[in-house]
Structures are given as C-alpha cells and as structure tokens.
Structure 1
Amino acid sequence: MTAIHQGAAGPGHQSSPPSRAGAFIKFADLDNLQVVVIHTGEQASRDAGIRATLQRAHNEAVATDNPIDPEVEPEQALYVGPTQLDDGARLYKMADRDATKRVIVHQFGNLAPEKAKRLIVALRKQAPKAELYRGNPGHNAEPWQLVDVVAFEQTLAADTTPGEAPWPDNVAPLHLVKSSPEEGPELPAGFEVRGSRLCALMTVGRGEDARQEWVPIASPVHVLAETADEQGRGYGRLLEWRDSAGRVRQWAMPVRSLVPRNGEEVFAALLDAGLPFIELSHKRRLAAYLMSCQPKRRITCVERTGWHGHAYVLPGGSIGPDAEGVILQTAGYTASDFTERGTLAGWQQGVAGLAVGNSRLCFALSLAFAAPLLSLVGMEGGGFHLKGESTDGKTTVMKVAASVYGHPDRYAQTWRATGNAIEGIASRRNDALLCLDELGELDGREAGQTAYMLANGQGKGRSKQDGELRERKAWRLLFLSTGELSLEDHAASAGKSTQAGMEVRTIQIPSDTGHHGAFEWLHGMDGGRSFADALKINSEAHHGVAFRTYAQALTQTMDEQRERLRAEIKQLAAELTPKGAGNQVGRAINRFALVAAAGELATRLGVTGWPEGEAIRAVRVCLKAWLAERGHLGNQEDAATLMQVRGFVFAHQFTRFADWFDSSHRPANMVGFRKVESDGVSFFVLPQGWLEITKGRDPKRAAILCLEAGYLLTGKDKKRLQRQVRLPGMGKGMRVYVLGERVLGDEGDGLEDE
C-alpha cells in the first residue's frame, strides 16, 4: 500500500509539530501542511480504482519533484481495506515518508481494533516522526488516542519506559475482545501501571517514617471484561498480559479460583503462561487488584469448546457471527490445541488429496468433519476403533484426522491416562473429534467403562466436601481410537466384560485394507512407509485451517444445513442398511451415514477438494469391513445367546446328553438326551437343562432366537416352543426343548454374500 497524496510544504512550517494534547487539524487547512490522509474500513476497498490512479500520478509527481496540488481532493489520499491489515500484511512504502508531518486516518466503515493497531504500527515504521490523527471530512481531526495504547503495549514488550518504546517488526497478536482500547484499561483506585510494572499504593515504614509509595506487585495484567454464563453464574475476569517474549496472552479466569489457598493456583497459572513477574510477598495485593477491577465490558462465558448459538468457541477465540459475545473460561490458563498453520490449498493437496482412493484415510477425515454436526442434527456421540497390527499405518490415519483441527502430534492424545484425565480431555473436545492412540496403554479394567463414558458424554458423579453433588463434566463428541486389540478383547484380558451395547457406541473397523496396511493407493510412491512419511510431513506443515474454514462456513448457513443434513443422513442410512439388519446394526449405520454426509458437506463447502461421492465410497468400504468382522447382522446380545447355546451343545453333546438308545449311558449331570437316527441327530433338552444352557440369558428369549435361527424344532402347534415327548426310561411324557442337527454346524445368522 502506498500513500498517494502528499501536500506541498507551505511557508512557515519549519518549526516543531504542535503538542499532542489538545492539538486539532482542520481538513480545510490541509493545503498548508504536509499530510497523508488514509481512508480505511469496510467500504474503502470499493474505491480501489481511484486509489490506483492517484497512486500512479503521485509517484510520478514525486519522481519529478513536483508534488500534486493539495487542493485537488486532498482527503482522497489512500484507501485501505480491512483485508490489507490482516496479520502478516505490510504497507508499501510511502512515496516521500521523510517529509510527512501528519497522518490523518478517516475510518470509513467498521475497522476492528486489532487491525487499527496494525495500521498504527506500520505507519510508525514508515513515518516515525509524524503525528497520527483521526477524523472525518468536515470536522476537526484530533490526536489518535489509540496510538498511546499501542505505545504502551510495545513498552510492556520491551520492558522499558513509555518514552523509549520501540516499534518492532512483529505486529501485536489479535485481541480476543474488542474493548475500548482508545480509552485504555481502567484501573481501580490505588493501582497504577508505572513503566513495566503494575504498582499498588501502599504505606511504607512505621510511625513518623510512614509514607505512601507505589510498590511494584506484578507485571501489568489488564482486566478487559467481566464474564458470566447465561444463568448468571460462573463469574470471572478476562485477563490480558504480555509474556517475556512479547506475545499477548489472555485467560478468562473464574473469580472463584482466587479463593482456594489464597489464589495460589491463579498466580501459578499466570507465571506458567509467561507473566514475567509477580512480587510473591504482595500476592494478596494482586488478588485484591483482580477482584476490585470492574470493567464495563460483559461477555458470556462457557466451560467447554463447541457450539454456542451461531459461534463455535475455541480456547483461543471463537468463530462465527456471535463470536465476540462468548469466550471459553477455564480453571487454569490452557494453551489451545486447535492450532493453525499453512494454507487450505496446501492441506488439500498434501493431506486430503492423498486420502482419495484410501478408504480409511477418507473415512477418518470425514469423521473429523462429522463431530461438529452432532448437536446440529441431534445425534448421540460415539466412536470408531481402528484395530490392526502395529506399524500398519493406523496411527498415521488417526493423525491425519487430527490435522483437520490442529498439529497432529499435539491435538491427538493417547489412551495412557486415568479415567479422570480422559474426562478433562473430552470436555476440551466437545463438538469436535477426540483422537486416542494405542488402546493397549489403558488399563484393561477401565477400558469398557471409559469408552462407554466417552460415548455417553458424561463424566463420573462426584461430591463436594459438604456431600452435595458436583456438576458433572459433559460433552458431545465423536472419537477415533487405535489399537492392536479390540475393546472387548482388551477388557477380557483384564478379566472384565464389555456391556452389550458397547459395539454400537464404539464401532470396530479393521485397519488392514488388504493392500498396503491401512492404505489402498499410494499415489505413485514407492511404499507404505514413504506414503505415511509424506502424510506426516504435510500434515505438520498444514493443519487447523481446514476446520476453521469448515466451521466458518457452517456458522453462516447453520439453519439450512441442519435440515438438509438430517434428510441426507436418513437417505444414506436407508441405502447402507443391509436386509435383515438388527436394531443395533441400524443404529451403527446411522453413524456411518453421518460420517458420509459430513464428508460430502465438507466437499460442497470447498474444504476437502475431493470429487463428489468420495466420502460415501469410503464409508461403504469401511461399513462392509465392520460387518464382515462382526460376522452377523443381528443384535450383539442375540448373537451371543445363539453362540452360547451352540457352544454348549457342541462341547457337551457326548458328556452331558444321555444316549437315547443306550440305557447304560446316563450322565449324573445330564441336561437331556441325544438321539441319532438315519436322517440326523436331535437333542431333547430338559427344562432344567435349558436353564443351565442359557444361564445368564433370558431362557424364553433364547428359545425364540433358536427357533428363528432354525435350531429349535416345534411340534404341530407352531406357537409352542416346547414339545410333548415320551423320554426313554420315563414313563410319562414331558415337555422339552428339541434342537435339530443344525445347532452343531450352522452360523444361523450369518451375513449374506454381496
């Protein structure tokens, strides 16, 4: 960007500039001053044509030492759009910056404070001796007070006095809250910022030597806003400070944290987050300062990430139209796992592009995009577990999914944690994907319970010291797990069993594709290891930007996307559900359909760069792999019941069943009779024996399942599960369960070949 209008120096202007305090400039007087006027804001970019024309004319005039006549619309000097003040952008050099005495900024439309600060920093670099003003045509321009605020912030970074504040090349990071920076932070009585220290007015000395002095208590900590949740609870303060490296840090601190142990956790959190100095002997003064600050700004706080209205709340800020009004509040300062690096185009080419033709990769990325949709479409949480041999690429698949949200190594977690720690991690992944590597690192005794907790979205109930129940941590998320064992096998190795509905909540997909481990297509690379290394390098270079692009697009069209997604999920679930599927399979397929719909939505929104239908194809492949490993379409409890009946009969057909024709073969613990005839073998199970065979199950339900599977033979009355039979050695007839030969050698509820 180049300043394209500069007035000629008028006579009598060799003296020093006027004092900032109370100094005003009239636009009508611009012809007598060397002034650059900048128009900036939302509407400025539409005048780009005028800007280019005047820029060219001005540069030519300066080159011939013949500046443009200042009377020709001097206020149309430079137009700067908000995007030209994004983080990292730079102004072009002014044509004659050394001669510039004044710079007036005309804010034409909205301009965020952080962008205004960047403009000030850039102008200070180019014209360090110029006075900076702000005003509108037809009115007096007055000194821009935001300049002093920026100078103060730069002073804190350099740890010098205000008069010696440098103007470094790096622009201050974005502020989460758009407070009133021009007015400066309001400090309560008895506290002042002096140089690089926050000071308190304290009485020093005793008796006749007692006097009031300003005593340093900490590096400057500013209270930008007061926070509270929508129910008027959870009050806090939004704090801001600079760490020793000059980076802006912010933390929404619950005021209740100042109570336990005299606020020790608060001070520890501040120091851990880089606050350069706290005078430990005056911690109570610092606590009093934080408590007594009463900022005018009010912000809604939430205790977990995810959706809040039309804003998606993150640890480092929020995304969407409602982003300014909500912030994440945590008990301690927490660095954001949702980091951003690289470009969307780089991620599409180096990460998402390599997922094309690779079902597990494409599925995992679609799963990452599905997690934020749970609350939109009203679905419950759950997870998928990639099971396979070590070094087959399943961890790479998981980290590729993590790259949607942040750095793959920092965003992804491991199962090696206690249940309490995993609760904390889950609450930081609300409405997002939770990645957990190596299930084997979790204690097998906790495996089933922990996975069930994650899927149900609620932590353990705990009591306070007075016996009252604490508020449970809650979340709604999808998780992606990896391991060499299945969840059921890992729990069984510790002598525990998983609950019957666990397989619906944690769906197990074999990671091996039958080609190159977890990959089918290597995109021209010479091996699976090279392919995995390329994914790792690319995801570290480009991550986090995909989620922000996705979330930003969702916040703009949430209402219309909600209804469309529900219809798509219903249609996809109907297409994916095989004939004869039980209720549990149907519920699991609903989640597969959600993943497919999410992947296609991300493609429509321009995030993935995939061809249409790629996500659906990947979901079909993974669904087929799950069903093949599961081995049946019925409910897991029903399949286990049939397996129990078949297993007992097969294992004990000669030891627990008496021979129908051999009266000498009568086991003491017999459960029935075994009858061998020319057309096959039959088992006549006594009522007491049936109770033993179906121990732990509903005996009537077990009989019905055996009938449906073709194991149980009925008499003339098809409605009766038992038959009236005269047994050998028993005078009168008895009602028994009759099992046919099929119970020995048929799966009963197997999958149909496709």
Structure 2
Amino acid sequence: MNIDEHNEKAFEEILQLAKDNDIAAEDAELKYLDSEYPRFKDASDKKGGTSGFIKILSDEDGRIHWIIAKSYHEALGEVIWRSDGLHSLSTEQQEEKLDELKKLQSQRDEQLQLQLAENRLALGELLKTLTSASEQHPYLIKKQVSSHGILMRGNELVVPLREYEGDLITAQRIWPDGTKRFFKDCGKKGACYVIPGDNSTILIGEGFATIASCSEATGYTCIMAIDCGNLIEVAKSVRSKTNAPIVIVADNDKYKEKNAGVEAAKKAAKLVSGAIFIPEFQDETTEPTDANDLALLEGTTELKRQLEPVITHARMGIPKGYFFANGWLCQKRETEKGEYVAQISSALYPVASSRDKFNEEWGLVLKFADLDQHEHVFALPRSALVKDPSAVLEPLASRGLQYDPTESKALIGFISTVQPIGRARSVSQTGWYGDVFVLPDEAIGASSETVIYQSMSGAPAGYEQSGTLAEWQQEISSHCVGNSRLILMVAAAFAGPLLELDQSLESGGFHIRSESSRGKTTALRLCKSVWGSADKLVTWRATSNGLEGVAFAHNDSVLVIDELGQMADDNPTEAAATVYMVANGSSKQRANRSGGAAKLRTWRLIFVSAGEVSLSNLMRQGGRQVRAGQEVRFIDIPADAGKGLGLFEELHGYPDAASFAEVLNTNSKTYYGTAARAFLAQVASDKVGFAHKLKVLMAEFLRLVPEGADGQIKRSANRFALVAAAGELASDVTGWPEGESLRGVKVCFDAWLAERGEGSHESSQAIEAVKGQLLKWGESRFGQNPNGPTWGIKTDQDFWVYPESFKTDLCHGLDHRNVAKVLHEKGYLPSSAAVNKRIQGEKTRRVYPISGSILGSSEPEPEPVYDEVPYTV
C-alpha cells in the first residue's frame, strides 16, 4: 500500500489502540461534539465523560495518515496510529512527511479562520439591519420572559452571540415554536449572550429563556452559553476576566439516558471554582429541566428562593469540606469506618474580605445570629489568626456564636482558609471616611463600597441605642429649651461631626465649673445621651493612656468627661498634661516593637467637662501656667446660671431644681443614641449644603461678639459659634425652636466673657497671678518679722517687692518682664522696671513698688493650698 491510499478503518483502529493501551474505556465510542477534535470516554471517566480526544493529520485529498489519541487526564499517556503508507517510509521520510502534513493543516486552519471572519463580518452587517425583538413574540410569551435586548428578523428571534467581552461569533435564530438554528459556517465555540446586571455575581446557563428567568429573579449579570457542550468554554472565558463569584445554572437532563446538562455544569463549576444550581420541582409530570421551567411552573419568586442560598454560598468562598446545614457550620470527614459530619459552630457566614485604605490590615467580615436571633456583623482582623486562638474565639463567643470547644481548631481552620469574593473597606477609628460616618455597628452615608469598623481592641463604648428619637425629643431635648447650659451641652454633642466640614475649625471643649453640685453632671449626661448611654461617664481620673484611647474612639463626635477636680487632687502634674493632650488631638509619641517611632493616634472632637476647679487652677497645681492656646481650647464656664436654680433657668413645671435634675438623669439613662444617628444621616446626605449653612450660622453668631475684642476672645467665640450653629442645624432632630441654640449659647458666651474679662489672656493671667500670690502670702512674706523667707516690705498701701522675689515668687513661672509691663500699663507699678526706694533702717534698695489697689480688682479665682511654700532661693 503506497502512502496515498486511504485507510477507511483508521478511526476504528486508533480507538482500539487506545483501548488496548488503557487510554480509552472498553465501551468508548468516538463522539463529534461541538469541539475541535472527536472525543471519547477515557479509562478514568467513571460517569460517562468524554475526556479522551484524537488529533488528525491528512493530505490534500483528506486521506488520513497520522492520528494521536490521548486524554486530558495526562497520566493515561498517548498512542499514535500511522497509515500503512506512512509505515512504509523510513524514519527520516516519515518525519519529513509529517512536517509537510502539519504545514498543510496549519494552512487549512488559517483558511478556516479567514472564512469564519468573513462570515462573521457579513453576519454583523446583517444584525445592524434588524430591529429590537417584540415583547409580544410567541416564544417570549410562552416562556414568560422579556426580550433583554435581543433582535428580530421576520418572525424569528435573533440572539447575537459573542466572545465574553469580545467580538461577534455567531447568532442563534429562534422560531415561534422554539426551534433553534445557527447562522451557517460561523462556529460557536466560546460564544455567549450577556444580560447585564449586578456583576458582583455572575450566573451562566445554557439557553436564552433560562438566563432570562435567572436575570429577572436575581438582578445579577446572567450569561447564555448556548448548550452544555459550550458551557465550559464560556465559564473559562468569564473566569479569565473577573474574580466575581460564578454560579453555573444546570439543565437537569435526568429524564434522558445521560444527564449531560448536570455533568457539564459540574465540570464548569469545578474549573472556575464556582457553585452549581440544579432546579428542584414539586411537580415533575411534565419532566421539567431548567430554571425557566421552574419559573413557569412555580413562579419567579420560587426560582429566586432556590437560587439565593447557592449564590450566597458562591460568594463566601467556602473551603473544601465545609458546608452549612440546619443552622450549623459543618465539615465532612472521612475515617476508616466511613464518612461522617461534624458540627463545628452555629452558622458563621463570611460576607467579605476587608482591608484599609492602604490595602493593609486585612480582615474577614463575618455574619451570624445569637441565641435571640439578633444578627451580628463583625470584622475580625486577620492578624488575630497568628495570635492565641482566644484572639479569634473570644470576640465571636462574646457576641453569641455557639461552638463546640472540641472543634475550635476546625473553626479557626475555616476562618483561616475561607476566601469570600466580596470586599469591604475597613476603618479602625470612628468618624468620617469620605462621605460615610463610621460607627462601631454601622456606616451612615452613601459609598461605592461597603465600609465597616474593624479593630483588634473591639468596638468602643459610647454608641449604644435605647428608645426612639421621638422619646428622646420628648423626655430630654424638650427640657433643654430655656436652659442655656443644657442647650450648650447638647448642641456641643452635634458639633463634632461638623469639624469635617471646615478644616479651619479646631478641636476643643467646654468645662462647666462650680464649687458644689449645681447640675453639672446632669448637663454632661444630657450631652452624652445624644450619642449613647449616659449611665457611666468617663472621668478625668483615668490615666492619660486610658483617656488617649477613649479620645481616639470618639473621633468626630463628642467626648464627655467628669470629675476634673478629683484628677487634680490625685496628680495635678499629670492632670495638666492630660487636659492638654485631649484638647490637642494627638497621642504621646512612643516606640514600636522594633524600636522605631510608633504611629501617632490622632483625633478631632469636641469635649465637654465638669468639675470644681478651673483649668488655670489645675495647671498651677501641676506647676504650669495656662497658655493662651490652652485657654482657647478649654473654655471655662460658670455652672451657675444666676437664677437661683443652680445650672438651670427653666424647670418646665417641676417643683425644684433637684426634682428636675433627677428626672433628666433618669431619662438620659433610658433614651439615648438615636439623635446622633439621625443627625449624621442628614449631614452625610448633603455635606456641601450643611457646610454652607454652618458658615452662615457661625457668621450670624460672631456678629454678636464685641467689636475690638482680643484675638483670643475671637478664637474662643469661634467655638461658641460652632456649637450654636450645630444646635441650629440639628433643630430637626432636637425639636428646638428656631434661634434657641443661638440664644442659649450666647448666654453662656456672655457669662464666660464677663468672668474672663475682655483683655488679652496674658494680661489677665499676669494680674491674677500676682494678685493671687499677694493675697495668699501678703501677711507672711512681708514685714519686719516675716514667717518664712522675705519677699519684700509692706507699706501702708503698697508692696515693695525685691527683684529676685518678684521674678521667682510673684511671677511664678511667667515672664517677669511681661508681668511688670502689664502691671505698669494697668497702673499698679510706676514703671516696668524696678526702682530705688529707701527702706527705714537700711540703705536704698531696688524694688517693685506694687500698688495695694491690685487686691481690689475683680475677685480672683479660689487658689489651691500648696503643701510647701513656692519659694526659690
């Protein structure tokens, strides 16, 4: 036989050769599927698959000379068949002939591709002339689906089929009776039709009606793959271009000899790490198979119900062996005795992987229900997985997750390996993140991605909720009307989020001071109720490190702190530093584990405080003087409103201030946390609009400030203006009358200004420092027989102070030159420098002759009693 003779039994011989070499199964047959090569069942295909295939080389006349049979299961090997003519040649001649045949095959492939391109180009021109399909087409009416953008030619529906996100390949024609044909000689491998939707999840099915029903049931992007033979190609193409979860919607061909639909769907799902959906039917008398059949028989709602858990599972990226059943997370395990199922924990659903704005600090967003069926959504930092198991288990258990302690290793294994498709942006601090305000349990505002609070230290306290907004308005905010200090405190609670709207605004706070119980703590509790529970207030007695963490957790909100006086008693030096730290908005600089500088924690907030001592007294007890910037950030307001009712001016029908305060205290512990969220929703929906209104309202308040006021007064007035404007902007939430916040805050501003004076801080501070020292030590440090070190001589009307005592004792840390200048300007010294005075019985000495009239100026603040006399030799 020469090389040109055709061997008609070539296919039979190659298949038998494959069987003889355990490549093909004994019952294998060659099948001409919609693939490049004839396929067959290989020796490892236990469920009727077609993993085996053959490749052919033939001459110009189509006579076969070389065939190779192999399988996608490469371990089975391969066999080669040669024609008798090819066998008759020498080895060298065979190689030359094979090269010739391969070149010929390559030319054929090129010609085929050119012909396909021409046919597809012509088809594309034809499609341009077609109109949109009518929703009244008999096929669409029969299938009860919309047209979803397909075309129509005469009475035929035309479905354009393209590569996924690529060029046109072919088109399917659908007759009114459901008959389907393709346009000739265009091919169809990898062709699909996309019904666009929410592309966070993608569903792939066979026919148009199937994916149309899925689209209408779910709203997700749905893709038609034509048939089960093309399902794998389309799924692979989709996966190459997206990481979105994929659900393969199977045609359940169980009424046929071979369930090709389910088998192909399973293979496709495995290849793309997707999930598979197989519809289930209550009535199978009509032998239904696909998702459209389910929608027709039992409704789109039922189709959606069956699809949802499969889609959810696909989005979770559940590791192999784990699954959910009857409200539990379970795991399949195999032992020598067989397979069994272990219950690990109550159902713990992975929602998304989280990461911060730098794509660091990755975490896992988990959702589960506690025993009361209250749903928890919790972001667990993945860094917890490298710590002790308790770092993972404790926060879950504390939120109500049930788990078998003997299965804790399996639970942590699940959390460590699960890879949900969803993404969330994690934030480790409450406050604004773009247009979203992040709270420990929710993010308020619109965002292109999910934003969630995530922290190793857990959710901070202070953001709880109880009661309704209407109850809070009736039982708390309505009682503030007519009470300036209450208006100030509650309005301040709304000011924190507004700092974001104007970057020139500074953090800072207000301190309500009185020497006795006059309702100070009541006012603080009302302020706290805007954001959360007022049952327990943070106190200044906490360590500076503790308050640093609390301040960080109240970023862009309000920090309420009580008992300033107690901290002053415990450690006045630390107290002064802590007050400055809170107002300054930055933590202490520390070293990290490697010895470098740790990242500073910063915050931006409004704080309110109460206590028996002022900031100036506190700072002096700590050995410091109040600087002008500190005074501006810590505004000291007298608690007494001057109506004989302590802090109150209006009792709203209650018999006395004590009864009124008791009711307010009780109400603040019952109704809380709703007002801030309502206000945040308003601001987040229109930050630009609120920024404009804030500017206008602040300007309205600042017009009330005395003309020519000192610069420090104007800076302080700016914070009063911020709070007044915040109260007005929150009037829809508080229910206050228009202008009530402006009025109440102005009363507090006037009280602060009257007590402070309209001069500069430095001038007031200089006079108060000297006056305080003279009042305290005037009798014991001056005269002929002083009780302790001598500061100078006291005449009938004046204090003649020695220069060294003036610098070290009277000025007490202040610049003595500036103090002397101020005293001279105010008329308490004849000159800003020491002068010569003759002292009886002594020679002339240089002294500062301070007029005794200084003691009659405005009453000084009560000064602390030092344990030791502040005297420097």
Using the TM superposition, give the Cα deviation of residue 214 of structure 1 relative to its aligned residue in structure 2, in angstroms: 3.8
Alignment partners' CA distance in 2, 1:656 and 1:405: 53
Q: 1:440 to 1:30 in 2, by over 3 A?
A: farther
Partner of 1:116: none
| 1:558-637 alignment runs, 5 A limit | 558-577=687-706, 580-581=709-710, 583-603=711-731, 606-628=732-754, 630-637=755-762
Alignment partners' CA distance in 1, 2:460 and 2:492: 25
Partner of 2:583: 455
Contact 1:340 1:544 in 2 (8 A): yes
Aligned partner letter, 2:582: L
Partner of 1:287: 412
Deviations 1:471-500 (A, max 9, x none): 23322111222334445556777x665754
Alignment partner of 1:327 is 2:452:
yes
Alignment partners' CA distance in 2, 1:30 and 1:138: 12
Picking from 394, 407, 428, the partner of 2:520 is 394
- Greater RCO, CA 8 A, separation 6+: 1
Aligned partner letter, 1:722: A
Partner of 2:363: 236
Alignment partners' CA distance in 1, 2:138 and 2:519: 71
| 1:657-668 alignment runs, 5 A limit | none
Q: How many residues align?
A: 585
Deviations 1:164-210 (A, max 9, x none): xxxxxxxxxxxxxxxx6485633122322233332334454xxxx37
Partner secondary structure for residue 408 of structure 1: coil
Partner of 1:312: 437
Contact 2:507 2:604 in 1 (8 A): yes
Alignment partners' CA distance in 1, 2:798 and 2:620: 34
Using the TM superposition, give the Cα deviation of residue 647 of structure 1 relative to its aligned residue in structure 2, in angstroms: 4.9
Deviations 1:653-680 (A, max 9, x none): 7887789xxxxx999987667777xxxx
Partner of 2:664: 535
Partner of 1:547: 676
| 1:725-744 alignment runs, 5 A limit | 725=836, 727=838, 737-744=848-855
Contact 2:316 2:418 in 1 (8 A): no
Partner of 1:701: 818
Deviations 1:690-728 (A, max 9, x none): 4344352212111211122211214xxxxxx33775757
Deviations 1:140-168 (A, max 9, x none): 9646455358889xxxxxxxxxxxxxxxx
Using the TM superposition, give the Cα deviation of residue 618 of structure 1 relative to its aligned residue in structure 2, in angstroms: 0.9
Alignment partners' CA distance in 2, 1:363 and 1:654: 42
Please say which of residues 414-423 and 143-152 is displaced more in the overlay: 143-152
Using the TM superposition, give the Cα deviation of residue 467 of structure 1 relative to its aligned residue in structure 2, in angstroms: 1.9
Picking from 262, 265, 288, the partner of 2:391 is 265
Partner secondary structure for residue 694 of structure 2: helix
Partner secondary structure for residue 509 of structure 1: strand
Q: 1:636 to 1:107 in 2, by over 3 A?
A: farther
Contact 1:386 1:483 in 2 (8 A): yes
Contact 2:792 2:801 in 1 (8 A): yes
Alignment partners' CA distance in 2, 1:108 and 1:198: 25
Alignment partners' CA distance in 2, 1:210 and 1:137: 43
Aligned partner letter, 1:197: W
Partner secondary structure for residue 237 of structure 1: strand
Alignment partners' CA distance in 2, 1:675 and 1:594: 50
Using the TM superposition, give the Cα deviation of residue 357 of structure 1 relative to its aligned residue in structure 2, in angstroms: 0.7
Q: 1:508 to 1:688 in 2, by over 3 A?
A: closer
Contact 1:254 1:331 in 2 (8 A): yes
| 1:360-509 alignment runs, 5 A limit | 360-378=485-503, 379-388=505-514, 392-409=518-535, 412-415=537-540, 417-439=542-564, 442=567, 444-445=570-571, 446-486=574-614, 499-500=626-627, 501-509=629-637
Contact 1:238 1:251 in 2 (8 A): yes
Q: 1:691 to 1:389 in 2, by over 3 A?
A: closer
Partner secondary structure for residue 266 of structure 1: helix
Partner secondary structure for residue 679 of structure 2: helix
Q: 1:737 to 1:201 in 2, by over 3 A?
A: same
Alignment partners' CA distance in 2, 1:298 and 1:556: 23
Aligned partner letter, 1:376: L
Q: 1:729 to 1:371 in 2, by over 3 A?
A: same
Alignment partner of 1:253 is 2:384:
no
Q: 1:447 to 1:577 in 2, by over 3 A?
A: farther
Aligned partner letter, 2:554: R
Contact 1:239 1:250 in 2 (8 A): yes
Looking at CA atoms only, which structure, 1 or 2, has the larger radius of gyration?
2
Using the TM superposition, give the Cα deviation of residue 318 of structure 1 relative to its aligned residue in structure 2, in angstroms: 1.1
Aligned partner letter, 1:590: N
Alignment partners' CA distance in 2, 1:644 and 1:228: 54
Alignment partners' CA distance in 1, 2:283 and 2:486: 56
Aligned partner letter, 1:432: S
> Which structure 1 residue ranges, 5 or more long, are not aligned?
1-25, 38-102, 111-128, 153-179, 660-664, 715-720
Deviations 1:635-662 (A, max 9, x none): 5554343234345566777887789xxx
Using the TM superposition, give the Cα deviation of residue 455 of structure 1 relative to its aligned residue in structure 2, in angstroms: 1.4
Q: 1:182 to 1:743 in 2, by over 3 A?
A: same
Partner of 2:257: none
Alignment partners' CA distance in 2, 1:731 and 1:244: 90
Identity %: 33
Alignment partners' CA distance in 1, 2:410 and 2:453: 26
Aligned partner letter, 1:396: T
Alignment partners' CA distance in 2, 1:491 and 1:547: 33
| 1:141-160 alignment runs, 5 A limit | 142=300, 144=302, 147-148=305-306
| 1:169-180 alignment runs, 5 A limit | none
Partner of 1:218: 345
Partner secondary structure for residue 288 of structure 1: helix
Picking from 833, 838, 853, the partner of 1:722 is 833
Q: 1:130 to 1:391 in 2, by over 3 A?
A: farther
Partner secondary structure for residue 712 of structure 1: coil
Alignment partners' CA distance in 2, 1:264 and 1:668: 63
Partner secondary structure for residue 476 of structure 2: helix
CA-based RMSD of the aligned residues comes to 4.4
Contact 1:444 1:491 in 2 (8 A): no
| 1:176-191 alignment runs, 5 A limit | 181=312, 185-191=316-322
Using the TM superposition, give the Cα deviation of residue 282 of structure 1 relative to its aligned residue in structure 2, in angstroms: 3.8
Partner secondary structure for residue 730 of structure 2: helix
Q: 1:348 to 1:150 in 2, by over 3 A?
A: farther
Using the TM superposition, give the Cα deviation of residue 689 of structure 1 relative to its aligned residue in structure 2, in angstroms: 5.0
Using the TM superposition, give the Cα deviation of residue 212 of structure 1 relative to its aligned residue in structure 2, in angstroms: 5.6
Q: 1:656 to 1:557 in 2, by over 3 A?
A: same
Aligned partner letter, 2:770: V
Contact 2:834 2:846 in 1 (8 A): yes
Using the TM superposition, give the Cα deviation of residue 457 of structure 1 relative to its aligned residue in structure 2, in angstroms: 1.8
Partner of 2:400: 274
